[in-house]
Amino acid sequence: MRKLKLKAMAKINLGLDVVRKREDGYHEVRMIMQTIHMYDQLQLLMMDTPGIRVKTNLYYLPENEDNLVYKAAKLLMDEFHIQKGIHIDLHKFIPVAAGMAGGSSDAAAVLVGVNRMFHLGLSSEELMQRGVKIGADIPYCIMRGTALAEGIGEKLTRLPAMPHCHVLIAKPGIHVSTKFVYSNLKANELMVHPDIDGQIAAIQNRDLKQIAALMGNVLETVTIPAYPVIQEIKDQMLECGALNAMMSGSGPTVFGLFDREEKAKRASERLKRSELAKQVYITGMFNGGI
């Protein structure tokens, strides 16, 4: 198998709680992760000469060892002493630096692809154990679907699939540093935490309205004061009939859940007219495998 085409799916957080900041500096989280039907495309090509080459469609993305896809390929190729080379062609569609795990998902797809291409025989669990070495979101991006993530994000529990709904994605024209958000989060002083257990029960009951009602992201306490446009986008989605709207991850992307497509379309058109968001898409939940 000398050529492989793969899709790297984006994620949103239906709930994101930071339990505490650990003594080692890492933050302990409880998050409900959900894959959505938005993806980057990757093509992997085996080369007879050793080495890793990366090509992307965005001029500002690194094409060397600073790119997670390079690190993912190197991780497996070094461990298994693979003598052939690989060319990775990455076509980005998921918004960059957006709180949607685009880079982690690209790396996850490369781990899966290298495993298949070179017949390494690793299970998904074994790939997840390796993936966490280069990114806490990578194990989830290998698993996909609906899941509870704990620890630093690497302890995963699969949940029942989310009920059908329409997801509106809106990313304003700003970049938010994940490091900035977590370093300014007063994790041990948070007074309000999202009801993650209640949301899990609502998912098990396939109660879309209750799932939406219990959405919460503690990172908004840092990001919204610094970037008020995030709240403006949320407000517009809610005014157009979203069951709820929230920032994904450390932002700045906002997503809204809608029970009817026409409401999502109305919100999408309004956001485009307002120019609050530079990238606006309507999509849905994804619960398939990689």
What's 100's DSSP letter?
A: S
Set 17, 137, 171, 263: catalytic member: 137
Q: How far is CA 260 from CA 13, 119, 207, 229, 243, in A?
A: 21, 44, 15, 25, 10
Set 11, 171, 234, 263: catalytic member: 11
- Cβ burial, residue 123 (10 Å; 0-12/13-18/19+): exposed
Q: Which two tokens stand for residue 183?
A: 């370093």
What's 154's DSSP letter?
A: T
Active-site residue, 21 included: no
Which of these, 284, 253, 276, lies nearest to 99 by C-alpha position?
Answer: 253
Active-site residue, 263 included: no
C-alpha 133/C-alpha 177 separation (Å) is 21
C-alpha 98/C-alpha 158 separation (Å) is 24
C-alpha 173/C-alpha 175 separation (Å) is 7
- List residues with catalytic annotation: 11, 137
